[in-house]
Amino acid sequence: MNPYHIPENALITVAGTVGVGKSTLTAALAERLGFRTSLEQVEHNPYLEKFYDDFERWVFHLQIYFLGERFKEQKRMFELGGGFVQDRSIYEDTGIFAKMHADQGTMSATDYATYAQLYEAMVMTPYFPHPHVLIYLEGSLPAILNRIQERGREMEIHTDRSYWENMYNRYSSWIETFDACPVLKLNIEEYDVHDPASMDDILRQVSESIRGTAATV
Ligand SMILES: Nc1ncnc2c1ncn2[C@@H]1O[C@H](COP(=O)(O)OP(=O)(O)O)[C@@H](O)[C@H]1O
Ligand SMILES: Nc1ncnc2c1ncn2[C@H]1C[C@H](O)[C@@H](COP(=O)(O)O)O1
């Protein structure tokens, strides 16, 4: 058992908008806990660049691809018995990305319905237990846009600010109604992944959230 009394089979999911710091925190938490990571693969995604170039043409392909990747990851985590920190939840694919493109008309109603049907069928399988806790990363939009710039993925840098603004607003509303598992909100200005005391503090909060003893603000 780790010093934080976080169950060895726990599934901790890190959520939040693009560039907010999910992958960085996922890796830092997993290292500290001796957990495995489940990461989003950007480099080997065959649709992502095409998608940023032409949303309408590629959105359905991309959503199906992400769904397939997540299904494989969920199956892997299930079969290995947990003990994972996961970079982004499946709830965000459907509740943020697919919905945003359907609402703004870059994904047709028919494609969205087909996608939603597939998603519903997948989450009914045993591979989709709710996470023990969802860590939600929040910060100001300018700080997040800076991080996207600094990370330097061309396809994201060349995407209109309104896209990120829309996503940011959707995330802010979405998290207020999210209730599939306990939520721990962390402000990105208030922790440092390189500071052991800061990571200890986060892990204590994770543990409290999982055990249902977190203070409600
Ligand atoms: N706590 C942090 N402080 C400063 N910069 C950070 C921090 N976390 C992440 N970053 C930087 O912000 C950028 C986006 O982080 P990343 O973890 O890739 O975000 P996400 O996975 O949410 O898209 C990267 O350049 C990363 O180095
Ligand atoms: N479901 C998705 N639809 C569209 N785009 C998505 C989806 N999931 C992730 N993405 C994009 C957003 C970023 O450009 C990369 C990686 O996300 P990140 O938040 O940086 O981990 O994929």
For the chain of 217 residues, list the mean pLDDT of each consecutive stretch of 10.
93 98 98 96 94 98 96 96 96 96 98 97 94 98 98 97 98 97 98 97 97 66
Query: Is position 52 within any domain?
Result: yes
Half-sphere exposure of 159 (CA within 13 A, CB side): 23
**pLDDT value of position 217:** 40
Active site residue 87: yes
C-alpha distance from residue 21 to each of 27, 60, 118 (Å): 10, 26, 29
Query: Is position 127 within any domain?
Result: yes
Query: Is position 85 within any domain?
Result: yes
What is the domain extent for residue 134?
A: 11-215
Query: Is position 1 within any domain?
Result: no
Query: Is position 6 within any domain?
Result: no
C-alpha distance from residue 186 to each of 15, 23, 83, 106, 201 (Å): 10, 14, 21, 32, 11
Domain count, the chain: 1
Query: Is position 136 within any domain?
Result: yes
**pLDDT value of position 215:** 53
Residue 156 sits in a domain whose CATH number is 3.40.50.300
CA–centroid distance, 124 to ligand 1, in Å, is 33
Atom 7 of ligand 1, nearest CA residue: 21
Which of 62, 90, 65, 91 lies closest to 155 in space, CA to CA? 62
CA–centroid distance, 124 to ligand 2, in Å, is 24
Burial of 2 (0-12, 13-18, 19+ CB in 10 A): middle
Query: Is position 68 within any domain?
Result: yes
**pLDDT value of position 84:** 98
- E-assigned strand segments in the chain: 11-15, 36-38, 84-87, 133-138, 183-187
